[in-house]
Structure 1
Amino acid sequence: MTDTVLSLVDARLTLAGNAGPIDILHGISLDITRGETVGLTGPSGSGKSSLLMLMGGLEQATGGTINALGHDLTSLGEDALARFRRDHMGVVFQSFHLIPTMTALENVATPLELAGKADAFDRAAEELAAVGLKDRIHHYPSQMSGGEQQRVALARAAAPRPEILLADEPTGNLDGATGEAIMDVLFGLRDRHGSTLVLVTHAPELAARCDRVIRLRDGALDTLAQAAE
């Protein structure tokens, strides 16, 4: 039995632009194993976030295959992909994407309710306590700092106890001290749930905490940089 949870074979992404097709990613092949923490790094515009979106089925590959937990994401429609993410993945963005009219507790509980979990609010409260927000569960996003809002977003992603956790620049909108605290929370959630974690980051200190760093350049794996390590 393989321990590979994410497998990309010659994955490609081409988008339509005003001047014609734009190649975003070309020929990405890699495997990520269960419980591994992988950092995706590289210059701005190298394709890091696009690669993460392919892994989460949030962007449809235009070539190659992407397999997650034995499911071929390139063959699934939008509804099936949404169900797969709901049941198996947690996704955290640089922008928090909280619902402003809902409290922290309601924001975290909502995806659990949509998944039919009877204990949605109990689990939401448990996750918020785990990220240090036990006393803020009834506050709205506008009443919270950026760091607190990102903690809510992390709790929301972790509450379904996903096998795969994807994070796109989770500390990008935060100051240094707050970003450091969010890193601790993120890796703590990974340890609590045993999730495989893939994150995009420009922060060397965050990449250094990963089991493996994959560098991209111009939409491809930067094999020269990795060979030099």
Structure 2
Amino acid sequence: MTQTIFSLKDAALSLDGNAGRVDILHGISLEVMKGESLGLIGPSGSGKSSLLMLMGGLERATGGSVKALGQELTDMTEDQLARFRRAHMGVVFQSFHLIPTMTALENVATPLELAGDKDAFAKAEAELEVVGLAHRADHYPSQMSGGEQQRVALARASAPRPAILLADEPTGNLDGANGAAIIDLLFGLRDRHGATLVLVTHSQSLAARCDRVIRLADGRVAPLKQAAE
């Protein structure tokens, strides 16, 4: 029986800003199944990154329901959400988010150590090997290129073998060649570990590598035929 990884029903997000309340997402309903790859596309400001944040428990829905692995994220405390992400999710951002005072090896080992894994550094070293950076294990983020930093971020997200991989514009700060290499690695890691992947991208051709694509416009699901990326 196919397992439902994400189930959103009428999920909404509103945030308070300087100009008052801003409605960002309006009644999003969707399901993502185990092992599926889902591409989220749409113009800037359409809400695709906000939707990814809801799915990762990094933003809390202000309406509707957001379930991951059968658990209602909107009912969890911040500590519970952090533990849930650590146990089940790997997240890759456009801006890498590496810890600058840690080496590549230490960055990858950190989530494993937090999970109590006694083999954290051995597993981190193996993961750096997979992304082709074993020779850079002792280098700090400032000593690496953008492409190398994103490889480290991918290794860090994948090392705990999460059931879910979330990627928000992972090639946004990279040139074409490095971006293509990162996407190949991302899909390779997803295939190797059987993870469910949700990918936010501006690129329709990149999203087309996913099993399914959803387009957002003005915080709502929109027909794909209107896409013009």
Same fold judged by TM-score > 0.5?
yes
Q: Which residue of 1 aligns with 2:175?
A: 175
The 4+ residue runs of structure 1 with deviation greater than 4 A are none
2:197 aligned partner: 197
**What is the root-mean-square deviation in Å for CA atoms of aligned residues?**
1.3
**Residue type of the alignment partner of 2:213:** V
SS state at 1:46 partner:
coil
Q: CA deviation at 1:224?
A: 6.2
Paired residues of 2:215 and 2:224 also in contact (CA < 8 A): no
Aligned to 1:95: 95
How does the TM-score come out when normalised to structure 2?
A: 0.96
Distance 1:224 1:179 in 2: 24
Shift of residue 191 of structure 1?
1.0
Structure 1 residue 204 displacement after superposition: 2.5
* Percent identity of equivalent pairs: 76
Give the Cα–Cα distance (whole angstroms) in 2 for the partners of residues 91 and 222 of structure 1. 25
Q: C-alpha offsets along residues 34-74 of structure 1, whole Å, 9 cap, x if unaligned?
A: 00001000010000000000000000000000110011001
Secondary structure of 2:199's partner?
strand
- Runs (5+) with no aligned partner, structure 2: none
- Stretches of structure 1 lacking an aligned partner (at least 5 in a row): none
C-alpha contact 2:40 2:200 (8 A) present in aligned 1: yes
How far off is 1:150 after superposition? 0.1
Is residue 2:82 matched to residue 1:82? Answer: yes
State the Cα distance separating 1:223 from its structure 2 match: 3.4
Decide whether the 8 Å contact of 2:128 with 2:134 is kept in 1: yes
2:25 counterpart of 1:25: yes
Which segment is superposed worse, 79-88 or 136-145? 136-145
1:37 counterpart letter in structure 2: S
Structure-1 separation of matches of 2:126 and 2:82: 25
Aligned counterparts of 1:205 and 1:161: Cα–Cα separation in 2: 27
- State the distance in 2 between where 1:41 and 1:81 align: 26
Alignment of 1:1-229 (within 5 A): 1-223=1-223, 225=225
1:224 & 1:165 partners in 2: Cα distance? 23
Tell me the amino acid that sits aligned with residue 202 of structure 1: H
Partners of 2:46 and 2:219 within 8 A in 1:
yes
For these two proteins, the number of residue pairs brought into alignment is: 227
